[in-house]
Amino acid sequence: MSALLRAEDIGVRYGGVRALDGVSIEVRDGEVLGLIGPNGAGKTTLFECIAGFNRPATGRITFAGEDITSATPEQRAARGLIRSFQDARLFESLTVFQTVLLAQEKRQPSRPLPNVFALPSTRRAERARAEAADALIDTMGLGGYRDRLVSELSTGTRRITELACVLALEPRLLLLDEPSSGIAQREVEALGALLRRIKEVTGCTMLVIEHDMPLIMGLADRIVALDSGRFLAEGSPRQIVEHPEVVRSYLGTGTETVHRSGTIRPRNGRARRARPLVARPAARQETT
Amino acid sequence: MEYVFTLHWPITFEVPVVSVVLGAVVGLSYALLAVGLILIYRSTRVINLAHGEMGALAAAVVAVLVNERGWAYWTAALVALVVAGFLGALVELVIIRRLFRAPRLIVLVATMGVAQLFLFGTYFLNDTIDNRLAGFPSPFDTRLTLGSLVLQPGELTLLVTVPLIAAALAAFFRFTGFGVAVRAAAENADSARLVGIPTRRISTFVWVTAGVLSAGTALMLAPGRGLTVTESLGPDLLMRALAAAVLARLTSLPRAVAAGLAIGVIEKVVAWNYAVGEVELVLFVVVMAALLVQHRGAVRDTEASAWQLSTLVRPLPRAVQQLPAVRAISWVGLGVALAVAVAVPFGLSNSQIFLLTSVVAFAIAGLSVTVLTGYSGQISLGQVAFFGIGAAVSYQLTVELYVPFWMALLLSGVAGAAVAVLVGIPALRIRGLFLAVSTLAFALVTQKWLLGQTWMAGPGVIAPRPYWGRLDFASQHAYYNLALAGLLVAVLVCRNTLRSGVGRNLMAVRDNEAQAAAFTVPVVRTKLTAFAISGFLAAFGGAIYGHGVETFQVASFPVSDSLRVVSMTIIGGLASIPGTVIGAFVVVGIDRLVEVQYLKLLSTSVGLLVLLLYLPGGIGQLLYAGRDRIVAVLTRRAGIEVSADADAPAVPVRAEP
Amino acid sequence: MPAGGDAPCALEVRDLDFSYGRLQVLFGVSVDVADGEIVALLGTNGAGKSTLLRAVCGLDLPDRGTVRCFGEDVTRLPAEARVDRGIVQVPGGRSTFPSLTVLENLRTGGYRYRRDRARLDAAVEEVFGHFPVLAERRDQAAGTLSGGEQQMVALGRAFIADPRLLLIDELSLGLAPVIVEQLLGIVRAFAARGTTLVLVEQSVNVALSVATTAYFMERGQVRFGGPAADLLDRPDLLRSVFLEGAEQSLSATPG
């Protein structure tokens, strides 16, 4: 498989802190690449560099063969590099319908002067956008929320709205930043299925940051682990889960930190060999 | 003290030592005011536009006590300081605390109202003074004369006290437990509360201190400026103080002193070499350059977001919206309003119709704020600059270039749009509060320098009324109808913009710039479009105004009118077009109708404050509530079941999270 | 459940409801913490743990329910007043005062007894004893320190505030294990003094290394409250927090 996206030697500093130190990753066309690591590992920073919201001090980013290192986020999105946001905050004064309408801007941008004078061409364009938006809303099952303000919806519904917009944005590479954050356990399982479906429908490639391990294990073809701004390990989900470096970066420095050994009794009654508890990687927090 | 340093290249520029010294002295007064502004900003996160007026009121108290009642100066001064402190505490307790969770723009407008209230008080007190010839009392009579330099008592006190006060404050904040607590509370109120620091009491303390500082400054400045202290503490002075504060990034007291000194010196030295207008230009350039340098790089400001004002208008559900009766509401409303507007002049005198024409013109300016601030979230306190530019350009086009009237109106609008885009470019980097200050500076430099140029309005011009064939617009009534037509055009432009994709883009960029970029919405172009549209509207309105009043000069477009335009839009409700028009009527109408100077101040200020405290969504909130009632009736009649949130207001002005 | 007895509960929360505007985030939360106990408050993202802490320390006031500390009803008391009763929180995120020096930050912790210089100085020295690196950087602005050092400052400040009930929100967030170990040192010192501790943690490991009792919250409700050891027998709760669970789920999916 060829590389759809290549980020080489990305370095980012905040004040005295090295958020990213010469990290290189490659996303292959058609795959789902998972990005994991403890908090402060630099995952979101890397994301922001790829999406164009953060200018790295060093490094180069190539997308579909083109060097996009100096492209604006809008330009990257126009080329098919679509990102989602961690909190799916979207736009607090817009309704679901208006938000999905907005996503149509990529295919049918609004032009200022015709809009101001309410020319017939504007009305036609708006009608076309409205039809496309309504179709998407129905596809994603958001009909009941159509005229609700996005800010009043639960995180899960906002996430689905965002995914509806993602469909409209025609992604070639979809960057998902902790899609499951703020979503309850049962909904997360549905989310995994939804993401797989989106991949099928759009044929896009995905790069996903996640803390929810079951979700990412079931979704990703390959996983890259970061720690303290550096590349740590890479492999299939199974390889990563058993990788000693990865386990240690979540657990801590084995001997010094407290760990608890003991038997863990799963429901089938078979006692397993004692293992140190592996803490869930701490929740997302921006490294500013 | 006859020494003069002279530069010969690139231009001949003289720097007399006397000017430098005087500049330093006046600069110290700016610095002291800046210190008060910074204290309040750090504690309340707002610029206190009433800062100068607090001091002016205290000065008026001294004038009354000494000149009328024969009190000794120092006793009177002490009373004045106490009064000022008390006023500061009152403002904090009654208004600022109530608006704790409100968007900062609302609080800013509230301080405008407070400023007017204090101004009322000052006028009232000054009017009780019969003996006008006495001049403002001085603490003592000594003057210091060194060659050609004469330092008045007020200036001497400034020279001595400001550095002392600055040093004392710096020491207080560094070395006392309470001072450190004040700094801590300003940085992180939650953490401060969690160690037992009484943040609310500290806020009151800060406002009291600011009041006392302002009073002190006024008392030192007043002797040199005569009894009418109010003018001397008006927008010009405030702007200088603001500039110093902003140059100090609104955080550092020592830097504020340095900035104040610099501004004072630059002011005096440039004034020596050039005319007054040029001083404003130089200061404007200096302030803008400093701001742009300060704000290089990513704006990840929490500051910017704190100034965001989400205007939420809940759109109607689709089924309801499609009812023909509901669709008719806005057209019916427009029709009724138009009918009323056309009918009203038939019972009025010419001067009253003239007033209505002004209202209409200002309403158009108000709409420019609706677009720029309401929907695009960019705070502009300088819209009347475009207003004036529109009037001047239209004059030049019609009188000097013989351009047909209707074309002149449109081209003035285009000129306004072009200038607005230029103003908007720095606005891409400067956000929120700093943008507000920049636009205020722009308004000042436009009034003091730009409009005074001969190729604009010069010393004052006469912009004639147009005539089309046999239609003569010389009569007030006829011109009023023309202005009304202009308002209709403006309303349609606004409405089309806000209901279209462009309006959606504006709101999206306002609410979440990064997300909008991720949706391929061009952020820079969208923001500049907002500036262009709002500049067009304001200039268009200005052109109509210019031909309406026929004679105007630089003083016709004061900075205070820019603030009035913003308050008119807030009164009307930022999201509401009809609300803004009504707001224009209320603000401009009362301003020009009520003859008695200070009664008008009292009514507008109290009215504004009451509105901000109890009806933050403005008149628009009422209009939308009314509309919702009508819609509910129509919905029930049509038999549609809408699971609407019954208790959700139509215009929930979002509070600060 | 805590061994009650006659000593008043350090913390007794009953049926707490809390909403941000119209969004309800806590639903009838009840928690008991005995004097001197160390409690871990665990749960997924958005479970309401931080919100509960804010209600307990007074930064936000709940819609319904009561909060009692050491027998006193403090539900409506503002945060500043609760500090007088010995309720102190180390908030999550950056909670230092960035432009104040390390020393100034620490001394704000002693605001309540700022006139008692001897006591304040002694407290500051004790903190420096736990965190020598802070002593080195005493005149540096707190905002320039690393994340771990800032957390040391926050904890030190809380130590100086001399709490009876200390709430710590996300002690280990974004910090390397070796730093966390140092921070745990002062936490144990708190415990040794008899301070009641409530630790909100994402890291089960860290929390259970000091806590004897655990509460588990999900979506604004308490799902478990009891001895920490019992929590380990609830894989259904901890499934989202363990890599183990991920492994199980992985072996369950085909291919």
**Position with higher pLDDT, B458 vs C157:** C157
pLDDT > 50? residue C253: no
Q: Coil, strand, or helix at residue B302? A: helix
Contact C123, C163 (CB under 8 A): no
Contact across the interface for C96 and B192, Cβ inside 8 Å = no
Out of C78, C111, C157, closest to residue B181 by CB: C111
Q: C190 to chain B, minimum CA–CA distance in Å? A: 17
C65, part of any domain: yes
Contact C200, C187 (CB under 8 A): no
Neighbours of chain B (3+ CB pairs under 8 A): A, C
Q: C180 to chain A, minimum CA–CA distance in Å? A: 8
Q: Give strand pairing partners of B159.
A: none
Distance of alpha carbon B586 from alpha carbon B571, whole angstroms = 9
Residue B297: exposure state from Cβ atoms within 10 A (0-12, 13-18, ≥19):
exposed
Q: How confident is the model at residue C249 (pLDDT cuts 50, 70, 90)?
A: very low
C184, part of any domain: yes
Contact across the interface for A185 and C44, Cβ inside 8 Å = yes
Q: Which of B101, B187, B191 to mutate to test the interface with C (most CBs of C within 10 A)?
A: B191
Q: What is the pLDDT of residue B519?
A: 94
| Signed CA dihedral, B387, B389, B391, B393: sign only | negative
Q: Coil, strand, or helix at residue B495? A: helix
Range among A182-191, B322-331, C81-90 with highest mean pLDDT value: C81-90
CB atoms within 10 A of CB B462: 12
Range among A57-66, B246-255, B346-355, B624-633 with highest mean pLDDT value: A57-66
Distance of alpha carbon B614 from alpha carbon B606, whole angstroms = 12
Q: Give strand pairing partners of C67.
A: C13
Mean pLDDT across chain A: 80
Q: Give strand pairing partners of A11.
A: A58
- Chain C partners of B195 at a C-beta cutoff of 8 Å? 83, 88, 108-109, 111-112, 157-158, 161
Q: What is the pLDDT of residue B205?
A: 95
Q: Output the DSSP codes for B503-555.
A: HHHHHHHHH-HHHHHHTT--HHHHHHHHHHHHHHHHHHHHHHHHHHH-EE-GG
Cα nearest neighbour of A175 on chain B: B518
Contact across the interface for B521 and A105, Cβ inside 8 Å = yes
pLDDT > 80? residue B649: no
The backbone region for C200, taken as left when phi is positive above 0, alpha when psi lies in -120 to 50, beta otherwise, is beta
Q: What is the pLDDT of residue B586?
A: 85
- Chain C partners of A285 at a C-beta cutoff of 8 Å? 93, 173-174
- Work out how many domains chain C is built from and give that number: 1
Asked which of B30-44, B49-63, B599-613, C225-239 is least confident by mean pLDDT, the reply is C225-239
State the SS3 of chain A. Answer: CCEEEEEEEEEEEECCEEEEEEEEEEEECCCEEEEECCCCCCHHHHHHHHHCCCCCCEEEEEECCEECCCCCHHHHHHCCEEECCCCCCCCCCCEHHHHHHHHCCCCCCCCHHHHHCCCHHHHHHHHHHHHHHHHHHHHCCCHHHCCCEHHHCCHHHHHHHHHHHHHHCCCCEEEEECCCCCCCHHHHHHHHHHHHHHHHHHCCEEEEECCCHHHHHHHCCEEEEEECCEEEEEECHHHHHHCHHHHHHHHCCCCCCCCCCCCCCCCCCCCCCCCCCCCCCCCCCCCC
Q: What is the pLDDT of residue B421?
A: 94
Q: Please, which residues have CB within 8 angstroms of residue A65's CB and are 6 or more apart in sequence?
A: none
Q: Output b/e per residue, B177-210; b: 16+ Cβ within 10 A.
A: beebbbbbbbbbbbbbbbbbbbbbebbbbbbbbb
The tokens for A268 are 């089938």
Model pTM score: 0.84
* Mean pLDDT of the region B358-376: 93
Q: Which of C19, C243, C251 to mutate to test the interface with A (most CBs of A within 10 A)?
A: C243
Q: What is the pLDDT of residue C241?
A: 44
Q: How confident is the model at residue B628 (pLDDT cuts 50, 70, 90)?
A: confident
Proportion of chain B in helix, strand, coil states, percent, rounded to 5: 75, 5, 25
Contact C87, C163 (CB under 8 A): yes
Contact across the interface for C173 and A287, Cβ inside 8 Å = no
C30, part of any domain: yes
Q: What is the pLDDT of residue A283?
A: 34
Percent of chain B past pLDDT 90, that is, above it, reads 31
Residue pLDDT, tens place only, B255-302: 999 999 999 999 998 888 887 778 888 888 988 898 888 876 544 444
Contact across the interface for B194 and C78, Cβ inside 8 Å = no
Q: Please, which residues have CB within 8 angstroms of residue C138's CB and are 6 or more apart in sequence?
A: C101, C102, C103, C128
Question: How many Cα atoms sit within 13 Å of B21 on the Cβ side?
Answer: 19
Q: What is the pLDDT of residue C45?
A: 60
**Binding-site residues on chain B for chain A (CB distance < 8 A):** 300, 310-318, 492-493, 496-497, 500-505, 507-508, 510-512, 514-523, 529, 532-533, 654
* Mean pLDDT of the region B154-173: 89
Q: Where in chain B is the domain with CATH 1.10.3470?
A: 305-638
Q: What is the pLDDT of residue B310?
A: 55
Neighbours of chain C (3+ CB pairs under 8 A): A, B
pLDDT > 70? residue C46: no
Return residues 189-218 of A near C (CB < 8 Å).
212-214, 216-218
Residue pLDDT, tens place only, A43-74: 888 999 999 998 899 999 999 989 999 999 99
Q: What is the pLDDT of residue B653?
A: 36
Q: What is the pLDDT of residue A284?
A: 32
CATH of domain A1-80+171-239: 3.40.50.300
State how beta strands C38-43 and C196-201 pair.
Answer: parallel
Mean pLDDT across chain B: 85
What single DSSP character describes residue C93? S
pLDDT > 90? residue B652: no
Q: Please, which residues have CB within 8 angstroms of residue B65's CB and are 6 or more apart in sequence?
A: B71, B75, B76, B79, B80
Residue pLDDT, tens place only, B607-624: 889 888 888 788 888 888
Residue pLDDT, tens place only, B502-545: 999 999 998 889 999 999 999 999 999 999 999 999 999 999 99
Contact C26, C16 (CB under 8 A): yes
C20, part of any domain: yes
**Position with higher pLDDT, B372 vs A42:** B372
CATH architecture of B305-638: Orthogonal Bundle (1.10)
What single DSSP character describes residue C141? B
* Mean pLDDT of the region B369-381: 90
Q: Coil, strand, or helix at residue B50? A: coil
**Position with higher pLDDT, C172 vs C3:** C172
Q: What is the pLDDT of residue B237?
A: 83
Residue pLDDT, tens place only, B481-513: 999 999 999 999 999 998 889 999 999 998 889
What single DSSP character describes residue B576? -
Q: What is the pLDDT of residue A34?
A: 94
Asked which of A159-168, B139-148, B149-158 is least confident by mean pLDDT, the reply is B139-148
**Binding-site residues on chain B for chain C (CB distance < 8 A):** 177, 180-181, 183-184, 187-188, 190-199, 251, 657
Q: C31 to chain A, minimum CA–CA distance in Å? A: 22
- A78 in B contact zone (CB under 8 Å): yes
Q: Which of B515, B527, B640, B643 to mutate to test the interface with A (most CBs of A within 10 A)?
A: B515
The backbone region for A62, taken as left when phi is positive above 0, alpha when psi lies in -120 to 50, beta otherwise, is beta
Residue C175: domain span:
11-93+163-252
Closest to C82 (Cα-Cα) out of C91, C94, C70: C70
Distance of alpha carbon B549 from alpha carbon B355, whole angstroms = 10
Distance of alpha carbon C219 from alpha carbon A156, whole angstroms = 13
C231, part of any domain: yes
Distance of alpha carbon A260 from alpha carbon A252, whole angstroms = 13
pLDDT > 90? residue A174: yes
State how beta strands A205-209 and A222-227 pair.
Answer: unpaired
Range among A101-105, B231-235, B472-476 with highest mean pLDDT value: A101-105
Residue pLDDT, tens place only, C197-208: 999 876 666 777
Residue pLDDT, tens place only, C103-142: 999 999 999 988 899 999 999 999 999 899 899 999 999 9
pLDDT > 60? residue A287: no
Asked which of B200-214, B349-363, B625-639, C224-238 is least confident by mean pLDDT, the reply is C224-238
